[in-house]
Amino acid sequence: MSKRILVTGGAGFIGSHLCQRLISEGNEVLCVDNFFTGSRRNIVSLLADPKFELLRHDVTYPLSVEVDQIYNLACPASPVHYQFDPVQTTKTSVMGAINMLGLAKRLKAPILQASTSEVYGDPQIHPQVEGYWGNVNPIGPRSCYDEGKRCAETLFFDYYRQHDVQIKVMRIFNTYGPKMHPNDGRVVSNFIVQALRRQDITIYGDGRQTRSFCYVDDLVDGMVKLMNTDQSVTGPINVGNPNEFTIRQLAELVVELANSGSKVVFTDLPVDDPKQRQPNIQMARAVLGWQPTVELREGLIKTIGFFEELLSQGKAAHQATP
């Protein structure tokens, strides 16, 4: 049965893929975005679809609409963007959660929070399981995002306990794919853009720190599966790819797939940058019947193709970084 679905942050990287997926399943989608990091280009293919509606709005202000489900993705997610205005980043996570939870409460609609693996901080256990409380610096330069997302999770569970709101909390691990912002400072987009421009590949630290990279289509599949679980399933649930790679391995693979002559150079590691990041996805497998299917090489080939087209059009160079 077709639903009317609200996606906040719907013009962003993950949000635009989610909007496309929901419309392809016959739903009506209300995409809400303030375009701080989202881009109209990400949703241009949807604008003519009668099942798609776009509303420019900042979730730190209340929103009154009528929908059947709410996906709350609104928040800058890369250090370059969330550290630009850290106070606003925290407000987006916290006030945005309060406003969307209030809407869900009024509508009696299920609401999914796009949380993050950053709630684990620089983890002292590996891989990370949902029961781990994390190792987060509450006063560092990344805290606006890490603690904002942790507070949002607190609000979700308090609304669940106090007001019986139907919540779903999903902890997203490193995700990549087409429609990534070329200047977001994330490792995959950084490496690809540098490789395609035949620039040096910049690695922070010694390159031995690890990450696990999930292709965006897999991530969105897990998100939709979680939203449509029984009301008793609240999460938090890790969604990500458990295959672990060092940053140096990623750099070398990108150089190979981009047919680039770029060389790898090293610079200082940012403050509070986690040394390891790998999800334990046993809960996602058991509860959602979900696991990633796209291997890193396959996903990188698709992502490199997107950036090749972007660079050939000259758009990446003009993509403003806030």
What residues are labeled active site? 145
Report yes or no: 196 and 257 within 8 Å, Cβ to Cβ. Answer: no
* CA 177 to chain centroid: 11
d(CA 295, CA 275): 22
Q: What angle do CA 238, 243, 247 make, to 5 degrees?
A: 105
Residue 14: name the closest of 313, 213, 215 by CA. 215
Contacts with 218 (C-beta within 8 Å, 6 or more apart), sequence order: 241, 292, 293, 294
Cα-based distances in Å from 144 to 63, 78, 98, 321: 23, 12, 17, 19
Q: What is the DSSP letter of 279?
A: B
Contacts with 1 (C-beta within 8 Å, 6 or more apart), sequence order: none
* CA 286 to chain centroid: 22
Instruction: Give the 3-state secondary structure of residue 25.
Output: coil
Instruction: Give the 3-state secondary structure of residue 121.
Output: strand
30 forms beta bridges with 6, 53
